[in-house]
Amino acid sequence: MTRYHVESGSEAALTTIGAGAISAAFVKDITLERDDARATHIVSAVGTSSLEKGTSFVRDNIPSSPVPCIYASYEEVYQDASVEVVYIGTPHAFHKKNCLDAIAAGKHILCEKAFTINAREAEEVLAAASAKGVYVMEAMWTRFHPLVQDLRKALFTDKLIGDVRRTFCDFGQDHKLGSLGPESRLKNLSLGAGSLLTIGIYSLTWGLLTLDEHIGTNASQAEILADQHLVDGVDVATAIILRYPATGRQGMLSSTSEFKNSYDFCRIEGTEGYVLLGGPYASSPSEFSVWRNRSAVSDVPTERQQTRPIFEKKYENSGFGLYREADAVALDIAAGRRGNEIMPHEETMRVMRMMDEIRRQGGAAFPQDAPDPTGSLSLASNKELFTFDYSAPKANSKNWIGIYHTTGGGPDDEKQVSPSLRWAYAPDAKGSLNIKAPIGGGNFKVYFLADDGYKWIAKPIEVSAKETGNPDELKIMSWNLWYGGTKVNNYHDEQVKFLSGAGVDVVGLQEASGDHAKRLGEALGWNWHQDGGDNSVGIISRLPIIKKHSMIGRGSGVQLALKGDTSKPFNFWSAHLAAYPYGPYSFCFENKSVEEVTADENEAGRPSQIKQVVDGTKSQRESKDPYVLVGDFNAPSHLDWTSANKSSHCDKSFDWPTSKIPIDAGLVDSFRKVHPDPKVVSGNTWSPIYPKNADDWEGQPEPQDRIDFIYGTSKLEVKGSEVRIAGTPNAYPDHRDNEWTSDHRSVVTTYKMP
Ligand SMILES: NC(=O)C1=CN([C@@H]2O[C@H](COP(=O)(O)OP(=O)(O)OC[C@H]3O[C@@H](n4cnc5c(N)ncnc54)[C@H](OP(=O)(O)O)[C@@H]3O)[C@@H](O)[C@H]2O)C=CC1
Ligand SMILES: O=C1OC[C@@H](O)[C@H](O)[C@H]1O
């Protein structure tokens, strides 16, 4: 991500996704100090596949800038509400998905060349961007080189070589394909490998820029004749003849992955002279020279030794030269443009269509070129949500329509990822089907799938259902998953079903170490925070995550955007305090005194753990923004262990320090606010599956307690609070097939938000 400051004074945040070779060059380049800067770029985040990779990427390429935020997944980039522009530096095959995901999250995009695998994908991306109103540009950096403008002026305005007749351009690199593994983007067809999309696109670009004064929709129609040499389906060499019927101009354009081209990579011939373009790569020109045509000179080694050019110009880049396109993006966005005039959408489409035709003639076909599925799926208008009209090539009783969350979970690659939220068979060749909208509303992606499997019959569609309930209210849940839920069969499906039906907006999870928050967030299509996976706590949220706070001891927190509005931050924390020694056992099984239990609490460290989170978030608690702290405190509350309620707690009353600390800091126990008398509503969350102890005091009645809490600042109005569970769980050890996947109940509080 770069935060850049443009000439006009505005700023936007840009994230690099894919920490590969070009992303490295890009971030290095845009953070260079240079005299011709039209925007200042500060890299502030990177989206990559692992923290380790991101850390070395930052260390090696952005040593002097402020340390960027490293996201170990691209999803987290899209969830970061402060990211405005995404730079996509992944293999060609991922450009479409990366673009669509970023667009869906409302991000502007600078996407590496080739823009997508084929024109159909490019159309889809541009249509999505236009529908969302976001900026997109193909990162065809060479077009932004000042040489291009000078050259086109020399050719078409000053006509230094008379009438342009022919362009020869070759881009060759020795990619040493024999030594590359099948996973290489240069060798793997499904990643978009091939000389054409990798480097031939530059030769084609030089042809288009030098044989025609115009680009995009104003350009003349060129005919194409092409040949490709394929190895394992990948084009190792591509040769293109461009022919302009209106003028008779010709382009002889080529690329190869086997040999390096010569320094003078391009020659443009006209009726009165010719131009030579030179540079280390055909993508990176460094000079051009204009020569007069000669008639009968045959015995001199090169033109340059024989005579002098009538014009020549050499160029130096401050760095690699990628900063020019980045500046253009910054200026465009600051000016409110949604595309760029040097690399307009129409030109991207023209190049993609030409490359499709070159591949059609040459034979390089990507798996992504397979035709669209032939069935159809649409949302029936003016009918009950969700009623779908569908058609399939033929009837099949096992064809089905499944509803998933928009982000994650759906069979985008025609493979199962996670269970659908709702589904039903669509058995006819043509029909209409109603499926109940998932509870809680939101954005959904709907798939029409073949024969109890995941092959698409039609392209998926996106549908929305309005949230039910009061938009000013927010439902918060605290839920200890119990080893992520893994103690119960089919836990993932059961958890997703429970959460998607619970109507909650934000969930603080405990025992979510590893990737359980990520897993659930992705399956639900919610935002999530996992804290690297080493800690027990996680957060999933329908609200966008603006910022992830650093861990404070046993608490993890995020800043959420209320109603998706980043100017309305809401600080939310989830904590999980140490489990042993467990105070109610000390009282009820060991008959310890108040002093001994106090010592046990301190030995467990729980009071200092909750104090650390409460004190560490003082400025958030005391700010005007809403603040909520939830968690499994592994200790009951002094509001429950009152002298009036002794009979429920081994005839003991006790001021549990872990519940006093938040309250002394001004927080409100939301459950007790709504249900002030513990004798009337206990709110016990421990434990739905342990009526009897299964530990050292096996068989004795397990102390039942409220140990999971939701605390909010006193400014927040509590509208309701309850304990939630799914089904009627069997007690341990017969819990394996429970619908309820935890050993705790969950607690849900509804707040009225400001
Ligand atoms: N403008 C220019 O001069 C150049 C442009 N390019 C273009 O940039 C893009 C990337 O090329 P380049 O940087 O050379 O490629 P690299 O292979 O060096 O890097 C691509 C990155 O994409 C991410 N990625 C995600 N999924 C995969 C996958 N399945 N296989 C490999 N990588 C994956 C990885 O980052 P992570 O692990 O961090 O997610 C990887 O490091 C291409 O479109 C290419 O044409 C390339 C070179 C020069
Ligand atoms: O875009 C590119 O230009 C430079 C080359 O080195 C690289 O392989 C290619 O993808």
pLDDT in tens, 289-319: 999 987 644 455 555 555 789 999 999 988 8
The domain covering 473-752 belongs, at the CATH homologous superfamily level, to: Endonuclease/exonuclease/phosphatase (3.60.10.10)
Residue 16 in contact with ligand 1 by CB distance below 6 A: no
**From the CA of 602, how far away is ligand 2's center (Å)?**
61
**From the CA of 187, how far away is ligand 2's center (Å)?**
14
Tokens 């840009």 belong to residue? 14
Question: Which is nearest to 309 in space by CA: 281, 271, 263, 277?
Answer: 277
* 3 state DSSP class of 466: coil
Q: State the pLDDT at residue 86.
A: 93
Pairing of strands 39-43, 2-6: antiparallel
Atom of ligand 1 nearest to the CA of 95: 43
**From the CA of 52, how far away is ligand 2's center (Å)?**
25
Q: State the pLDDT at residue 2.
A: 46
Atom of ligand 2 nearest to the CA of 283: 3
β-pair partners for 430: 391
pLDDT per residue over 244-291, tens digit each? 999 999 999 999 999 999 999 999 999 999 999 999 999 999 999 999
Q: What distances in angstroms separate CA 203 from CA 143, 200, 220, 473, one per listed residue?
A: 12, 5, 18, 58
**pLDDT higher than 80, residue 13:** no
Q: State the pLDDT at residue 41.
A: 84
Residues in the chain, overall count: 754
Q: What one-character DSSP code corresponds to residue 82? A: T
Residue 92 in contact with ligand 1 by CB distance below 6 A: yes
Give CA–CA dist 640/574, Å, rounded. 22
Q: State the pLDDT at residue 413.
A: 81
Under the banding of pLDDT at 50, 70 and 90, the label for residue 162 is very high
Tokens 């590359």 belong to residue? 180
Residue 199 in contact with ligand 2 by CB distance below 6 A: yes
Q: Tell me the best of 205, 281, 317 to mutate to test the pocket of ligand 2, counting ligand atoms within 8 Å of each CB and taking the most.
A: 281
Residue 184 in contact with ligand 2 by CB distance below 6 A: no
Single-letter code of the amino acid located at 158: D
pLDDT per residue over 34-66, tens digit each? 888 888 887 778 999 988 999 999 999 987 767
Q: What distances in angstroms separate CA 598 from CA 56, 584, 635, 693, 696, one per listed residue?
A: 47, 11, 11, 22, 21
**From the CA of 47, how far away is ligand 1's center (Å)?**
13
Pairing of strands 45-47, 473-480: unpaired
Residue 283 in contact with ligand 2 by CB distance below 6 A: yes
**From the CA of 284, how far away is ligand 2's center (Å)?**
10
Residue 205 in contact with ligand 2 by CB distance below 6 A: no
pLDDT per residue over 400-434, tens digit each? 999 987 656 789 888 887 778 889 999 999 999 99
Ligand nearest to the CA of 51: 1
Q: State the pLDDT at residue 303.
A: 53
Under the banding of pLDDT at 50, 70 and 90, the label for residue 720 is very high
Single-letter code of the amino acid located at 698: E
Under the banding of pLDDT at 50, 70 and 90, the label for residue 386 is confident
**pLDDT higher than 60, residue 371:** yes
Residue 195 in contact with ligand 1 by CB distance below 6 A: no
Residue 281 in contact with ligand 2 by CB distance below 6 A: yes
Show me where the domains of the chain are located.
2-138+321-339, 146-283+285-314, 376-465, 473-752
**From the CA of 197, how far away is ligand 2's center (Å)?**
9
- 508-527 core/surface letters (b: 16 or more CB in 10 A; e: else): bbbbbbbbbbbbbbbbbbbb
Under the banding of pLDDT at 50, 70 and 90, the label for residue 341 is very high
**From the CA of 752, how far away is ligand 1's center (Å)?**
46
Q: Do 58 and 67 form a contact (C-beta atoms < 8 A)? A: yes
Q: State the pLDDT at residue 349.
A: 98
Q: State the pLDDT at residue 335.
A: 92
Residues 659-669 have a mean pLDDT of 98
Atom of ligand 2 nearest to the CA of 175: 8
Q: Do 359 and 228 form a contact (C-beta atoms < 8 A)? A: yes
β-pair partners for 278: 264, 287
Give CA–CA dist 454/402, Å, rounded. 10
Instruction: Report the percent of the chain where pLDDT is more than 90.
Output: 77
The pTM assigned to this predicted structure is 0.62
**From the CA of 558, how far away is ligand 2's center (Å)?**
39
Give CA–CA dist 446/444, Å, rounded. 6
Give CA–CA dist 489/487, Å, rounded. 7
Q: Tell me the best of 57, 90, 257 to mutate to test the pocket of ligand 1, counting ligand atoms within 8 Å of each CB and taking the most.
A: 90
Under the banding of pLDDT at 50, 70 and 90, the label for residue 6 is low
Residues 609-627 have a mean pLDDT of 97
Under the banding of pLDDT at 50, 70 and 90, the label for residue 8 is very low
Rounded to 5 degrees, what angle do the CA atoms 356, 209, 303 make?
120
Helix and strand element counts for the chain (H, E): 19, 35
Pairing of strands 136-139, 108-112: parallel
Q: Which CATH number fits domain 376-465: 2.60.40, 3.40.190, 3.40.50, 2.60.120?
A: 2.60.40
Under the banding of pLDDT at 50, 70 and 90, the label for residue 500 is confident
ipTM above 0.90, yes or no: yes
CATH topology of domain 2-138+321-339: Rossmann fold (3.40.50)
pLDDT per residue over 629-654, tens digit each? 999 999 999 999 999 999 999 999 99
**Mean pLDDT value across the chain:** 92
* 3 state DSSP class of 160: coil
**From the CA of 253, how far away is ligand 2's center (Å)?**
16
Q: What one-character DSSP code corresponds to residue 199? A: I
Q: State the pLDDT at residue 51.
A: 87
Residue 195 in contact with ligand 2 by CB distance below 6 A: no
Atom of ligand 2 nearest to the CA of 186: 8
Q: Do 134 and 108 form a contact (C-beta atoms < 8 A)? A: yes
Same topology between domain 376-465 and domain 473-752: no
Which residue puts its alpha carbon closest to atom 8 of ligand 2?
A: 198
Q: Do 672 and 639 form a contact (C-beta atoms < 8 A)? A: yes
pLDDT per residue over 78-131, tens digit each? 888 888 899 999 999 999 999 999 999 999 999 999 999 999 999 999 999 999
Q: State the pLDDT at residue 7.
A: 54
Which residue puts its alpha carbon closest to atom 34 of ligand 1?
A: 18
Under the banding of pLDDT at 50, 70 and 90, the label for residue 442 is low
Ligand nearest to the CA of 282: 2
What CATH class has 146-283+285-314? alpha beta
Burial of 96 (0-12, 13-18, 19+ CB in 10 A): buried
Instruction: Map 591-657 to HEC letters.
Output: CCCHHHHHHHHHHHCHHHHHHHHHHHCHHHHCCCCCEEEEEECCCCCCCCCCHHHHHHCCCCCCCCH
Q: State the pLDDT at residue 686.
A: 98
Structure tokens at 109: 């995009």
Residue 257 in contact with ligand 2 by CB distance below 6 A: no
Ligand nearest to the CA of 175: 2
What lies within 8 Å, CB to CB, of 126 at 6+ separation is 136, 345, 348, 349
Phi and psi dihedrals of 548, rounded to 5? -105, 120
Structure tokens at 403: 């509803």
Q: What distances in angstroms separate CA 703 from CA 71, 112, 586, 604, one per listed residue?
A: 42, 61, 11, 18
* 3 state DSSP class of 527: strand
Q: Do 268 and 398 form a contact (C-beta atoms < 8 A)? A: no
What lies within 8 Å, CB to CB, of 334 at 6+ separation is 6, 7, 8, 9, 10, 12
Ligand nearest to the CA of 117: 1
Q: State the pLDDT at residue 437.
A: 67
Return the minimum-mean-pLDDT range out of 73-87, 358-372, 609-623, 653-667.
Answer: 73-87
Residues 669-686 have a mean pLDDT of 96
Give CA–CA dist 573/713, Å, rounded. 12
Q: What one-character DSSP code corresponds to residue 705? A: B
**From the CA of 21, how far away is ligand 1's center (Å)?**
6
Question: Which is nearest to 134 in space by CA: 334, 326, 337?
Answer: 337
